[in-house]
Amino acid sequence: MFQLTNANLGYKQSSVLRNISLEINEGERVALVGESGAGKSTLLTALQAQMRNKAALIPQDLGLVNNLSVFHNIYIGRLNSYSSVYNLLNLAWPQRREVQKIKPLVEQLGLVDKLFRPTGELSGGQQQRTAICRALFHGGSAIIGDEPVSAVDKHMANIIMETLIAKFTTVVLAMHDVDLAIKFSTRIIGIKDSAICFDQSTIDLTRQDLDFLYQR
């Protein structure tokens, strides 16, 4: 599903990750872990480019339109599924059938009372949940997420992770919470010093692996 071979990844002329070889197969739940700036987001960007928008995406900056409502931001997840005329109609007058499709998602993540509020008026955690609902509405078999639970409490983080692995067959997430990554992933990839320093099944991962990853 995803494959990189001896790839140098970065921005413009600067390589953040060097000589990266990686394959992720359908059905895997993969967590990328490492300190901030290690290159997790860079690797996710490369994987997303391979999918050409076929995978649902939760970017770190969320990609919300702040003056649009929660409903409209979630609806954006399927813009390409409808005609331009229908999209404009739904922008002006939210269509009942689209509201009915989206409502269960916001109910599940505790946003139902915010459905028609502009996302710019929401807290950081509520905005993050809106971006997650948009990815769920987009659907598909795979999801790529960059720190998707960084702004929510542990209880909500568990709900979100359970929802994502139930919805998507293949899950690739950059995670700051290692314990959460271990709980919900089948494979952990550690990134340090511009390289993959380990790539282990969750069962085989050792405390020594993690200590080395975060050792300064």
Mapping DSSP to helix (H, G, I), strand (E, B) and coil, where does residue 7 land? strand
Q: Does pTM surpass 0.75?
A: yes
Q: Are residues 108 and 129 in the same domain?
A: yes
Q: Are residues 45 and 67 in the same domain?
A: no
Residues in contact with 207: Cβ distance below 8 Å, sequence separation at least 6, in sequence order? none
Q: Are residues 93 and 48 in the same domain?
A: no
On whether residue 164 sits in a domain, the answer given is no
Q: Are residues 131 and 76 in the same domain?
A: yes
Q: Are residues 13 and 44 in the same domain?
A: yes
Q: Are residues 24 and 66 in the same domain?
A: no
On whether residue 71 sits in a domain, the answer given is yes
Q: What is the pLDDT of residue 95?
A: 95
On whether residue 130 sits in a domain, the answer given is yes
Alpha helix positions (H), the chain = 40-51, 70-75, 84-92, 96-108, 124-138, 154-167, 178-184, 207-213
Q: What is the pLDDT of residue 61?
A: 95
Q: What is the pLDDT of residue 213?
A: 87
Q: What is the pLDDT of residue 171?
A: 97
Q: Are residues 76 and 133 in the same domain?
A: yes
Last residue within a domain, chosen from 139, 157, 191: 139
On whether residue 177 sits in a domain, the answer given is yes
The CATH number of whichever domain residue 39 belongs to comes to 3.40.50.300
On whether residue 109 sits in a domain, the answer given is yes
**Full residue range of the structural domain in which residue 121 is found:** 61-139
Would you tell me how many other CB atoms lie within 10 Å of the CB of residue 194?
Answer: 18
On whether residue 79 sits in a domain, the answer given is yes
On whether residue 163 sits in a domain, the answer given is no
Q: Are residues 51 and 66 in the same domain?
A: no
Residues 106 and 112: beta-carbon distance below 8 Å: yes
Q: Are residues 116 and 96 in the same domain?
A: yes
Give pLDDT < 70 ranges for the chain. 12-15, 53
Q: How many structural domains is the chain composed of? A: 2
On whether residue 197 sits in a domain, the answer given is yes
Q: What is the pLDDT of residue 207?
A: 85
